[in-house]
Amino acid sequence: MNSDSKAKNRFSKKLLAITVVIIVVIAIVVSWQIFKPSSTVIKSNVILPALSLTLVGANGQQRILNSNELAGLTSYTSNGGYRGEGTMNATIYAGNFTGVPVLTLLNLVGGVSNSENVNFICSDGYQVTFTYQQLQGQEINTFDPNTGAAVQPSQPLTVIVAYYSNDTNIVSGKGPLTVAIVGPQGLYTNGYWWAYLLVRIQVIPA
């Protein structure tokens, strides 16, 4: 074999080796992209007791959430509370509440329109109905938490299904779930909106 042939042979072997290395590297990269853990999976730090919340849409679509499913939904935290009727000393329930906005929950069963209301049903038989506007935080009476005087909110109110009060599970008799109306101003609302022991949310005709 002459020198030219030897040189060509060495070049061919080097080219083959480089090609093999490139193929192996590409295979490794592709495999990593396919099998790598998803960076979009967000584990919730919320720990809830065993619970069941039934959602029923206007078209009859139904979904039942357990504690893990509810804890995995995007939450909202803000301040609120309510007073009993009468004097400043009639505060019943107030603080910092965390939960899932009702509109987020309803989107799981088709949402709600301005021609529909939403009924909240509790395990003790209590029920309360919100209009579409009230679910948007509108047309709800609000009161200054310091004076008890009626005031108009200057920042949005959000209706949530609360599972935490002051960073702890809602106490027995009120929880594990309760309807809460909260916002940055921490305004109080009428107590009848705050449905304790919530187990079912249903969209109904207005």
Q: How confident is the model at residue 148 (pLDDT cuts 50, 70, 90)?
A: confident
Interval 200-205 mean pLDDT: 98
pLDDT at residue number 92:
75
Q: How confident is the model at residue 7 (pLDDT cuts 50, 70, 90)?
A: very low
- Output 180 or 9, whichever has higher pLDDT: 180
Average pLDDT value for the chain? 83
Supply angle C-alpha 97, 98, 101, rounded to 5. 110
pLDDT at residue number 16:
53
Q: What percent of the chain has pLDDT over 90?
A: 69
Quick: pLDDT tens for 71-121.
999 999 999 999 765 555 565 789 999 999 999 999 999 999 999 999 999
Contacts 24+ apart (CB under 8 A), 83-88: 83/143, 83/148, 83/188, 83/191, 84/191, 87/148, 88/147, 88/148
- Is pTM, for the whole model, over 0.75? yes
Q: Tokens for 9?
A: 């042979």
From the list 156, 159, 171, the residue with the least C-alpha distance to 130 is 159
Q: 157 near 137, Cβ under 8 Å? A: yes
Strands 158-165 and 150-151: unpaired
pLDDT at residue number 89:
53
From the list 139, 162, 151, 65, the residue with the least C-alpha distance to 108 is 65
Domain ranges (residues) in the chain = 1-41, 52-205
Domain 52-205 is classified in which CATH homologous superfamily? Oxidoreductase, molybdopterin-binding domain (3.90.420.10)
